[in-house]
Amino acid sequence: MMLAPSVHSSRCRLLLTGFGPFPGVPRNVSATVAERLGHAVRWRFPSAQVVWSALPTEWHVAPAQVGDLVLDLKPRLALHFGVSDLASGFVIETIARNHAQRMDAAGLLPMAPFIDPFGPPEMATQLPAARLQARLAKLGLPARLSRDAGAYLCNAVFYRSVLAQRATGRGGRSGFIHLPVRVADGRCSSSRHAPLDIDRALRGGVEIVAACLNH
């Protein structure tokens, strides 16, 4: 899970997450992107401490795990990835909402229709969303803004991460990026039909991190 030393290091801390499989998506590319992006970011920013995690797509695990990671690490940036069949490139989510529904990978529904009974109805991303979209577009990478992260675990992780960043009081940033369900890895004949390949996904991911770190 970790790509760097102790979380008590004084270096800039970055948290990257993706998801494991869930019904209808037996291979979730977001976990692959998060892991490979962790290596790429560490190469681009060698002084940074990078932690990545593949989250189980389960209501009773993923949101709490992300909240604990953010509170423990107090990262300067927490960047979360998931997949959506509505995505044809990078979808930069701008609003996290306090609602939850749909069966998870364990076959369970959320215990309540909300994520936090005491949390606000919605919270804005802490990423410079418009600047990210412009930066990706300048590189020729497909990107758009979204105000609807859904009501599944992507939204729940997004919400919990932003809430935890607020609780730390450190001014850290959290945000969520949806990717296409299929990101081509170049190893299969259908790769040319995928809207985004792994190299472009990683290139865009590094640029997102750089923009969030004001590089």
* 3-state secondary structure at position 143: strand
Please report whether residue 43 resides in a domain. yes
How big is the chain, counted in residues?
A: 215
Please report whether residue 6 resides in a domain. no
Two structure tokens written together for 191: 């790769």
Q: What is the pLDDT of residue 192?
A: 46
The model carries a pTM of 0.91
Q: What is the pLDDT of residue 3?
A: 40
169-205 pLDDT per residue, tens: 999 999 999 999 988 654 433 444 456 899 999 999 9
Please report whether residue 8 resides in a domain. no
Domain that holds residue 120: 13-212
CA 181 centroid distance within chain: 14
Domain harbouring 87, CATH code: 3.40.630.20
13-68 pLDDT per residue, tens: 999 999 999 988 999 999 999 999 999 999 999 999 999 999 999 999 999 999 99
Please report whether residue 77 resides in a domain. yes
Please report whether residue 2 resides in a domain. no
Structure confidence at residue 214 as a pLDDT band (50, 70, 90): confident
Q: What is the pLDDT of residue 184?
A: 63
Q: What is the pLDDT of residue 182?
A: 87
142-168 pLDDT per residue, tens: 999 999 999 999 999 999 999 999 999
Distances (CA, A) of 86 to 36, 83, 103, 133, 181: 23, 9, 19, 17, 9
Q: What is the spatial distance between Cα 60 and Cα 15, in angstroms, rounded to a whole number? A: 20
81-114 pLDDT per residue, tens: 999 999 999 999 999 999 999 999 999 999 999 9
Q: What is the pLDDT of residue 114?
A: 96
Please report whether residue 7 resides in a domain. no
Domain count, the chain: 1
